[in-house]
Amino acid sequence: MERRWVFKESGDNEVVRNLALELSIDEPLAVLLAQRGVSTYTEARNFFRPDLLNLHDPFLLRDMDVAVNRIRQAFDKTEKILVYGDYDVDGTTAVALVYTFLKEQGFANIDFYIPNRYNEGYGISLKGIDFAAENGFSLIIALDCGIKAVEKVQYALERDIDFIICDHHRPGDELPPAVAVLDAKRDDSVYPFDELSGCGVGFKLIQAYAERYGIPFEKLNKYLDLVAVSIASDIVPITGENRILAYYGLKLINSKPRPGIEAILNVANIIRREEVEKSDGADTGIFSRELTINDLVFVIGPRINAAGRIESGRNSVQLLISPSLADAESIARQINDFNITRRDLDSQITQEALDMIATDTSQQGHRSTVVFNENWHKGVIGIVASRLTESYYRPTIVLTQSNGLITGSARSVKDFDIYDAIDACSDLLEHFGGHTYAAGLSLKPENLELFRKKFEHIVATSIQDYMLVPEVEIDLELDLRQITPKFMRILKQFAPFGPGNMSPVFMTPRTRDTGYARIVGKNHVKMTVFQESVRSDPFSSIAFQQGDKYAEIQKGRAMDICYHLEENEWNGNKTIQLNIKDIRFSEEQ
Q: Which of 138, 118, 12, 19 is nearest to 74 (CA)?
A: 138
Quote the CA–CA distance of 410 and 419 in Å, as a whole number: 9
Q: How confident is the model at residue 282 (pLDDT cuts 50, 70, 90)?
A: very low
Residues 6 or more apart whose Cβ sits within 8 Å of residue 579? 541, 542, 544, 563, 564, 565, 566
Q: How confident is the model at residue 363 (pLDDT cuts 50, 70, 90)?
A: confident
CATH number for the segment(s) 360-468: 3.10.310.30
Residue 532, pLDDT > 90, answer: no
Q: How confident is the model at residue 287 (pLDDT cuts 50, 70, 90)?
A: low
Q: Look over the chain and give the mean of its residue pLDDT values, rounded to a whole number.
A: 92
- Distance from chain centroid for Cα 346: 19
pLDDT of residue 288: 62
Number of Cβ within a 10 Å radius of residue 330: 12
Select the CATH number that applies to the domain covering 4-49+472-585 from these four: 3.20.20.70, 2.40.30.10, 2.40.50.460, 3.40.630.30: 2.40.50.460
Task: Taking residues 40-63, report their average pLDDT.
Answer: 96
* 464-487 confidence digits (pLDDT tens): 999 999 999 999 999 999 999 999
Residue 59, pLDDT > 70, answer: yes
Quote the CA–CA distance of 501 and 495 in Å, as a whole number: 8
Lowest average pLDDT, out of 239-253, 270-284, 395-409, 428-442, goes to: 270-284
Q: How confident is the model at residue 410 (pLDDT cuts 50, 70, 90)?
A: very high
Intervals of CATH 3.90.1640.30 along the chain: 58-333
Residue 120, pLDDT > 90, answer: no
Task: Taking residues 229-240, report their average pLDDT.
Answer: 94
pLDDT of residue 280: 41
pLDDT of residue 418: 96
Q: How confident is the model at residue 276 (pLDDT cuts 50, 70, 90)?
A: very low
Intervals of CATH 3.10.310.30 along the chain: 360-468
Task: Taking residues 362-368, report their average pLDDT.
Answer: 89
Cα–Cα separations (whole angstroms), residue 337 to 88, 140, 342, 362: 17, 32, 9, 39
Question: DSSP labels for 91-124?
Answer: HHHHHHHHHHHHHHTT--SEEEE---TTTT-SS-
Q: Are strands 559-570 and 573-585 parallel, antiparallel or unpaired?
A: antiparallel
CATH topology of domain 58-333: inorganic pyrophosphatase (n-terminal core) (3.90.1640)
Helix (H), strand (E) at residue 406: strand 405-411
Residue 286, pLDDT > 50, answer: no
pLDDT of residue 278: 42
* Cβ–Cβ under 8 Å, residues 337 and 304: no
Intervals of CATH 2.40.50.460 along the chain: 4-49+472-585
Residues 6 or more apart whose Cβ sits within 8 Å of residue 551? none
pLDDT of residue 167: 97
* DSSP three-state, residue 488: helix
